[in-house]
Structure 1
Amino acid sequence: MNILVTGGAGFIGGNLAEVFVADGHDVITLDNLDPYYDIGIKEHSIDIARERADEGEGSYEFIDGDVRNQDLVTELVSQVDVVYHQAAQAGVRTSVDNPRKPNDINIDGTLNVLDAARDSEISRVVLASSSSVYGKPEYLPYDEDHPKTPVSPYGVSKLAAEQYARVYHEIYGLPTVSLRYFTVYGPRMRPNMAFSNFVSRCLNGKPPVIYGDGTQTRDFTYIDDVVDVNRTLLDTDIADGEILNVGSSDNIDIRTLAEVVRDEIDPSLGLEFADQPTGDAQHTHADVSKATEFLGYEPSTTIREGVSQFIDWYKANRNWYEALVLNS
């Protein structure tokens, strides 16, 4: 297939592009290399995808551009069969400081993709949404019908984007699927996330820093599970028009996560605490039964398995990744 991955140099987008190329597909990635975090990580993802293209049957092309460029988006969408729309201004805390930027990228950029797809022969648009749409839990785990009361501008922008995708399916017949990701982690993840910060500090002999009292809980989803569910959507239209949770179906409080990371690296370290930022959700926990029903989704990596795998990857890639983590 011919596939467009917007945000294709980012964490999830870069992993998708790499796997799709390795599977023999022809992949175009669109990314503006926004320095929200060190672009060296994004450049590394581009290099890996190019290496996969050199090794196999798939092809890879990187386009330095922005989803807010409607003409460019329209041109690229016209060349492909499927769009994986991962491009977004990430970061709850960033959105609190500057709510207009996620609005411009996450909503207007999404509309550019949807409009381009509506006017093409595209077979599907797969949209990256977020558990941030839920906000304040009335019950856990979240199912897709849970009320949506996002507590950050980022959450509002992702909710608007997925609802536009739903409406474009219902009104225009555009095949869309929105995946609500729950705190994805793994190789090449953003260095400003709690998970990567814990590992970085512990490997450097420093105690992990917990924001808040550590009772917040998260449903951490390993990147391989996210890649697998996106792969499934290449071959089926059964979920068209749907919005699906993609999580691990498990959760862990942040203090325990810090202790698990610390104990694997250096049990002698203590814990440090800092103020919890505005806009952070208190709890997330995914009910993935709908994704299981439609796509056969079964998360395969527990949080403790994921901790070990990420630490092993981090150690193997420490020469280039650690400098970027410490500078971010």
Structure 2
Amino acid sequence: MGTKLNKSVLVTGADGFIGSHLCELLVQQGYKVRALVQYNSFNHWGWLDNSPLTKEMEVVTGDIRDPHFCKLITKDIEIVFHLAALIAIPYSYTAPDSYVATNVTGTLNICQAAKENKVARVIHTSTSEVYGTAQYVPIDEKHPLQPQSPYSASKIGADMMAMSFYNAFELPVTIARPFNTYGPRQSARAVIPTIITQIANGQKQIKLGDVSPTRDFNYVTDTCRGFLALAQSDATIGDTFNIGSNFEISIHDTLNLIKKIMTSDVEFIIDEQRLRPKDSEVHRLWCDNSKITALTGFAPEISIEQGLSHTVDWFLDNLQKYKADIYNV
């Protein structure tokens, strides 16, 4: 397989939705985890503040936009899982410069630091958004890249920066390209938490953007297992891998599943504020996951019904952490 257990790993973006779950999985698998959370004066550690496993990690605060800091935190690290990024698509319309600084320059800084500190593996996080609206389905890794938002453009730039370090310097980079991850701790601006939190707060009408697009939804623990599978196989170095379920469902049908789980009679209405600009909406995402499966044996374990059920339960227990009455950009 390649990379063994008990290695020192760095997870950037450890305070975030996927990053916090990945840190927990790595601890459970016996890895020594250094968790990077974004520096802030409140000393908040994001979702790691609430994790029962945080005491088993080394939590550091800082910013990947600083190259000197990146060099410091990659010392004595064997695997970097690079998840730190600005990810909200709507915010990228108003603050595109910050996306380049964090996503492109931040990735450059991590790769440069990993190269200088002779890190054994770098797992760089991409996104299915780089594909844009599907030109064919299911989407494999050869699908053209289409920058339909400043966010996706910055992620395409970050992917290319990471891969350039493999080509130019033989840095052992693997690009992990997750499709639509959902589950406990996801931002309330994402569609599944938007629905759950509004229904839970007793709304009779729910405001949404376009509900016709399809997505390949993946429960967060499955996404994290995909990251680990890529890191544990040396055969994945220098290549890009989709992490997804090979299952397509429309936003509309997803909403109705949530309504059923929550036994709700809520009605959905279109909110103009939530619509993406005309040529920016990604209409179809359906993942071809045959490449990661063939190379690592990875396959998702949690069905959409199971995953939504777990997610609903978690949000009902944690509603106080969300501002469900305002639109999160």
The equivalent of 1:89 in structure 2 is 86
Conservation of the 8 A alpha-carbon contact between 2:133 and 2:285: no
Q: Does 1:211 align with 2:209?
A: yes
The whole-number CA distance in structure 2 between the counterparts of 1:30 and 1:268 is: 42
The equivalent of 2:58 in structure 1 is 61
2:271 aligned to which of 269, 274, 293: 274
The equivalent of 1:259 in structure 2 is 256
Gaps of 5+ in 2: 1-6
1:239 aligned to which of 236, 239, 242: 236
The equivalent of 2:38 in structure 1 is 32
SS, match of residue 177 in structure 1: strand
Gaps of 5+ in 1: none
Conservation of the 8 A alpha-carbon contact between 1:14 and 1:46: no
Conservation of the 8 A alpha-carbon contact between 2:133 and 2:281: no
1:11 aligned to which of 14, 17, 34: 17
Q: Quickly say closer, same or farther: Cα 1:304–1:179, change in 2 above 3 A.
A: same
Which letter maps to 1:311?
Answer: V
The equivalent of 2:318 in structure 1 is 317
The equivalent of 1:21 in structure 2 is 27
Q: CA deviation at 1:33?
A: 5.5
The whole-number CA distance in structure 1 between the counterparts of 2:114 and 2:286 is: 32
Q: CA deviation at 1:65?
A: 0.7
Sequence identity percentage: 28
Q: CA deviation at 1:39?
A: 9.8
The equivalent of 2:122 in structure 1 is 125
SS, match of residue 184 in structure 2: coil
Q: CA deviation at 1:236?
A: 2.0
The equivalent of 2:298 in structure 1 is 297
The whole-number CA distance in structure 1 between the counterparts of 2:255 and 2:206 is: 6
The whole-number CA distance in structure 2 between the counterparts of 1:184 and 1:110 is: 21
Under a length normalisation based on structure 1, what TM-score does the superposition of the two structures give?
0.90
Aligned residues: 316
The equivalent of 1:136 in structure 2 is 133
Q: CA deviation at 1:284?
A: 0.9
Which letter maps to 1:313?
Answer: W
> Which segments of structure 1 move beyond 3 Å, counting only runs of 4 or more?
323-328
Q: Quickly say closer, same or farther: Cα 1:52–1:244, change in 2 above 3 A.
A: same
Q: Which moved more, 1:305-314 or 1:229-238?
A: 229-238
The whole-number CA distance in structure 2 between the counterparts of 1:39 and 1:281 is: 36
Q: What's the RMSD between the two structures over aligned residues? A: 2.1
Q: CA deviation at 1:194?
A: 0.8
Q: CA deviation at 1:252?
A: 1.1
